[in-house]
Amino acid sequence: MVAATALLGAAVLAGLSVGAVGLPPLGAAAALLDRIPGVSIHSGLSPVETQVLLQLRLPRVLLAALVGGMLALAGAAYQGVFRNPLADPYLLGAAAGAGLGATLVIAYVPGNSVGPVSVVPLAAFVGALTGVGLAYGLGALAGQGDGAATLLLAGVAVASFLAAAQTAVQQANAESLRDVYSWLLGQLGAASWPTVGLMLPYAAVSAICLLTTGRGLDVLSVGDDEATSLGIRPQRLRLLVLVAASLGTAAAVAVSGLIGFVGLVVPHIVRRLAGGSYRTVLPVSLLGGGAFLVLADLVARTVLSPAELPIGVVTAFVGAPFFAILLRVGSGRS
Amino acid sequence: MTAAIEVAGLGVTLGGARVLDGVDLTLDSGSWLAVVGPNGAGKSTLLRALTGLVRHDGTVTLGGRHAGSLRPRDRARLAGYAPQAPVLPAALSVTEYVLLGRTPYRSLLSAPRAEDRTVTAGVLERLDLGPFRDRPLHTLSGGERQRAVLARALAQQPRMLFLDEPTSALDLGHAQQVLELVDRLRREDGLTVVSTLHDLTLAGQYADTLLMLAGGAVVATGSPADVLTPERLARHYGATAEVTSGPEGIRVYPVRRRPSPS
A140 vs B97, more confident: B97
Q: Considering only residues B246 and A114, tell me which one the structure prediction assigns the higher pLDDT.
A: B246
Domains along chain A with CATH numbers? 2-333 (1.10.3470.10)
Residues of A in contact with B77 (CB under 8 A): 231
Q: Which residues of B touch A218 (CB under 8 A)?
A: 89, 92, 96, 100
pLDDT of B67 above 60 = yes
Residues of B in contact with A219 (CB under 8 A): 100, 103, 108
A222 touches chain B (CB under 8 A): yes
Q: Is A146 on the interface with B (CB under 8 A)?
A: no
Contacts of B54 in chain A (CB under 8 A): none
Q: Which residue of A has its CA nearest to B80?
A: A229
**Cα–Cα distance for residue pair A183/A253, rounded to 1 Å:** 10
pLDDT value of residue B212? 96
Residue B54 contacts A where some CB pair is shorter than 8 Å? no
| Greatest CA separation for chain B | 76
Q: B119: distance to nearest CA of chain A, Å?
A: 16
Residue-level pLDDT at A94: 87
Helix or strand (DSSP H, E) at A56: none
pLDDT in tens, B132-143: 999 989 899 888
How far, in Å, CA of A216 to CA of B110, rounded? 11
Q: Is A84 on the interface with B (CB under 8 A)?
A: no
Closest CA to A292 of A324, A327, A268, A326: A268
User: Do the Cβ atoms of A229 and B53 come within 8 Å?
Assistant: yes
Would you place residue B152 in the very low, low, confident or very high pLDDT band (cuts 50, 70, 90)? very high
B133 touching A, CB under 8 A?
no
Q: Would you say A18 and A33 are in contact if contact means Cβ atoms under 8 Å apart?
A: no
pLDDT digits (tens, 9 = 90+) for B6-52: 999 999 998 889 999 999 999 999 999 999 999 989 999 999 999 99
B100/A230 touch (CB, cutoff 8 Å), yes or no = yes
Q: What is the pLDDT of residues B193-231, one digit of tens each?
A: 999 999 999 999 999 999 999 999 999 999 999 999 999
pLDDT at A333: 43
Looking at residues B67-80, what average pLDDT do you find? 91
Distance to chain B for A272, nearest Cα, Å: 9
User: pLDDT at position A177, please?
Assistant: 81
Task: Tell me which chain B residues have a C-beta less than 8 angstroms from the C-beta of A215.
Answer: 103, 108-109
Backbone angles phi, psi at B160, to 5 degrees: -140, 150
- Predicted confidence at residue A332, as pLDDT, reads 44
**Contacts across the A-B interface (CB distance below 8 Å):** 85
Mean pLDDT of B137-158: 91
Distance from CA of A146 to the nearest CA of B (A): 12
**Statement: residue B153 has pLDDT above 90:** yes
SS3 sequence of chain B: CCEEEEEEEEEEEECCEEEEEEEEEEEECCCEEEEECCCCCCHHHHHHHHCCCCCCEEEEEECCEEHHHCCHHHHHHHEEEECCCCCCCCCCEHHHHHHHHHHHHCCCCCCCCHHHHHHHHHHHHHCCCHHHCCCEHHHCCHHHHHHHHHHHHHCCCCCEEEEECCCCCCCHHHHHHHHHHHHHHHHHHCCEEEEECCCHHHHHHHCCEEEEEECCEEEEEECHHHHCCHHHHHHHHCCCEEEEEECCEEEEEECCCCCCCC
User: From first to last of its 334 residues, what are the pLDDT tens digits of chain A?
Assistant: 778 788 888 888 888 877 777 778 777 888 887 777 777 777 777 888 888 888 888 899 999 999 999 999 999 999 998 888 888 888 888 888 988 998 898 888 877 776 666 788 888 899 999 999 998 888 888 765 566 788 888 888 999 999 999 999 988 888 888 888 888 888 887 788 888 888 899 999 999 999 999 999 999 999 888 999 999 998 889 889 999 999 999 899 888 888 888 898 889 888 877 878 899 999 999 999 999 999 899 888 888 877 888 888 888 887 778 767 766 765 444 3
The verdict on a CB contact (< 8 Å) between A221 and B92 is: yes
Q: What pLDDT was estimated at residue A145?
A: 55
- Complex ipTM, two decimals? 0.86
Longest dimension (CA), chain A: 66
Contacts for A105 with CB less than 8 Å, ≥ 6 apart: A112, A119, A120, A123
User: pLDDT at position B31, please?
Assistant: 94
